[in-house]
Amino acid sequence: MTKPALNTRDDIRFLFGNEERRLRDIDPQMTVLNWLRLNERKTGTKEGCAEGDCGACTVILGEPDGMGSMRYRTVNACIQFMPTLDGKQLLTVEHLKSDDGSLHPVQQAMVETHGSQCGFCTPGFIMSLYQLWLDGGEDDRGAINDALAGNLCRCTGYGPIIEAARKAGGISATDPVEQKRRSDIATRLTAMIEGAGMLALEMPVGRYFAPRSSDELAALLVAHPDATVLAGGTDVGLWVTKMLKRLDPIIYIGDVADLKSVREKDGALTIGAGVTYSDAHNALGMIARDVGELVRRIGSRQIRNAGTVGGNIANGSPIGDTPPALIALGARIVLRMGDIRREVALEDFFITYGKQDRAKGEFVESIIVPKPDAGVQFKAYKISKRFDQDITAVLAAFAIRVDGGKVIEFRAAFGGMAGTPMRAKKCETVLIGMDWNEASLNAAQLALTRDFAPMSDMRASKEYRMLVAQNLLTKLFIETTAPEIATRLVGREAAHV
């Protein structure tokens, strides 16, 4: 049996701008936002919702990219805990102005386009625009919408801010000054952490461990089977800010290097449980275009930069976006306790509402996603009140193979229709072997009423859910029999509304 690492330290090491910080005696569940505003009196970063929705608290985290440079990502400071800064660089709106007082190009562009009125949302927008600038700038309206979808403005309107994004441009990846700056920061951060041992905070208010390998993680979870596993914190953060929970201990998996890879082998992807949506996006998009599109619509850029596919599965939510899609694709997950691993079909992991096939001390190590066989068409449809940054009311995912007009294979999985993400097995049975026509479509729609008895809640009524699920089968029918008919908003200028 693996043993927890003995080499530990109790200080959180990070760069605040260019300034090295080593913090002790910090409550492990203090949010980055509270630390900035209450401890540092850096009040540029605002609190709007404290639940990752409005973007007023947007900051940038930089991490060494493993190739001698840095990569930067926006996150919501309101739901990130302080110890997760360990080994990273934290940048806030206060870091943008030059020493001589001149504004950064993104700030200047916001001034020139009149992108701010009351100003409350502005620091958050500035940080999202700064991220675009660091990534080289963007002119495409869709890509700008995507980068800004996690920032809400109640007074200016988005037109001037989008114009500011275009006007600000970006820094070239080959700019020698920028390259040197990133390389210097990466070297400093690596030196601060290398050989320094695992971060282990044991405070009277709570404990926090940040293992660096999956063996350390496995051993820690065996030693602390009741610990809260923390990945991106886009669910767990809200337990603290909204439900005022105390979590003790917290075991953070975001620093576990071997859970952060996406590998392709034998026609399947293996996604480590620590891989964020942003990092899984391209690979999942290669499996099937609609999975990529689904991931693009999860939360906002800030949420996708932090949240993980593993967390989306482990939280057991009936309205998580990736599980129905992954179930329709036939995904499996690897669960690990100590040195013992077992593999289960994802659909079997969800037992009933609030209950998953995961023992205490066990964790999700990876997700195995097979590529659809040749001839299989994969479609996924997310229905939510807003197109971006909204939780799903109903999600349908279909993998279908039609040959000679007959349905040869069909897997259908839904979210928001039951207490767990679930396959529609009666609907599948009705269709397989049948001609793919309006009569079989109607039979499949009827079968859905035997598969599911959805409930009403604030997102949708049970009647709406059933009707929309049936209509999504119609959409599948149209897209697989008459692909020339336009059925998607994506790609149109108005796709963000």
Ligand X SMILES: Cc1cc2nc3c(=O)[nH]c(=O)nc-3n(C[C@H](O)[C@H](O)[C@H](O)COP(=O)(O)OP(=O)(O)OC[C@H]3O[C@@H](n4cnc5c(N)ncnc54)[C@H](O)[C@@H]3O)c2cc1C
- 48 interacts with ligand FES by CB under 6 A: yes
Closer of 22 and 114 to ligand FES (Cβ): 114
Kindly give the residue spans of alpha helices, DSSP state H, lying in 57-172.
Answer: 105-112, 122-134, 141-148, 159-168
Distance spanning both ends of the chain, measured CA to CA: 54
List the one residue from 129, 199, 218, 229 that touches ligand X (CB under 6 A). 229
List the one residue from 69, 108, 117, 474 that touches ligand FES (CB under 6 A). 117
- 479 interacts with ligand FES by CB under 6 A: no
Query: Minimum distance between the CB of residue 443 and ligand X, rounded to whole angstroms?
Result: 31
| Residue 53 neighbours by CB under 8 Å, 6+ apart | 152, 389
State the DSSP H helix or E strand holding residue 491, giving kind and residue range, or none if neither: none
Q: Which tokens belong to 17?
A: 């701008």
The edge-to-edge listing of strands for the beta sheet with 268-272 is 262-265, 268-272, 363-370, 332-337, 340-345
Contact between 224 and 249 (Cβ < 8 Å): yes
Could you tell me which residues are beta bridge partners of residue 31? 81
- 390 interacts with ligand FES by CB under 6 A: no
Closer of 27 and 53 to ligand FES (Cβ): 53
List the one residue from 235, 255, 279, 451 that touches ligand X (CB under 6 A). 235
- 480 interacts with ligand FES by CB under 6 A: no
- 324 interacts with ligand FES by CB under 6 A: no
- 330 interacts with ligand X by CB under 6 A: no
Closer of 158 and 209 to ligand FES (Cβ): 158
- 52 interacts with ligand X by CB under 6 A: yes
Query: Minimum distance between the CB of residue 152 and ligand FES, rounded to whole angstroms?
Result: 7
- What is the footprint of ligand X within residues 395-454 (CB under 6 A)? none
Enter the DSSP assignment of 78: G
Closer of 51 and 357 to ligand X (Cβ): 51
Half-sphere exposure of 157 (CA within 13 A, CB side): 5
List the one residue from 2, 8, 10, 49 that touches ligand FES (CB under 6 A). 49
Query: Minimum distance between the CB of residue 2 and ligand FES, rounded to whole angstroms?
Result: 37
Closer of 110 and 193 to ligand FES (Cβ): 110
Query: Minimum distance between the CB of residue 88 and ligand FES, rounded to whole angstroms?
Result: 18
In angstroms and rounded to an integer, the radius of gyration of the C-alpha atoms of the chain is: 23
- 213 interacts with ligand X by CB under 6 A: no
- 57 interacts with ligand FES by CB under 6 A: yes
- What is the footprint of ligand FES within residues 71-90 (CB under 6 A)? 76, 78
Which residues of 309-354 form beta strands (DSSP E)?
A: 332-337, 340-345, 350-352
Query: Minimum distance between the CB of residue 489 and ligand FES, rounded to whole angstroms?
Result: 25
Piece of 25-33, 168-176, 304-312, 402-410 that binds ligand X (CB under 6 A):
304-312
Contact between 375 and 384 (Cβ < 8 Å): no
In angstroms, how far is CA 59 from the centroid of its own chain?
Answer: 16
Query: Minimum distance between the CB of residue 433 and ligand X, rounded to whole angstroms?
Result: 33
What is the distance between the alpha carbons of residues 17 and 488, in angstroms, rounded to a whole number?
A: 42
List the one residue from 27, 47, 362, 390 that touches ligand FES (CB under 6 A). 47
Enter the DSSP assignment of 173: T
> Nearest CA to 127 among 102, 163, 108, 151?
151
Contact between 464 and 393 (Cβ < 8 Å): yes
Contact between 320 and 313 (Cβ < 8 Å): yes
Closer of 58 and 356 to ligand FES (Cβ): 58
- 121 interacts with ligand FES by CB under 6 A: yes
- Binding residues for ligand FES, rule CB under 6 A, total 23
Q: Which tokens belong to 71?
A: 């990569």
**Region at 394 (left for phi over 0; alpha for psi -120 to 50; beta for the rest):** beta
Site residues (vs ligand FES, CB under 6 A): 47-50, 52-57, 76, 78, 116-122, 153-156
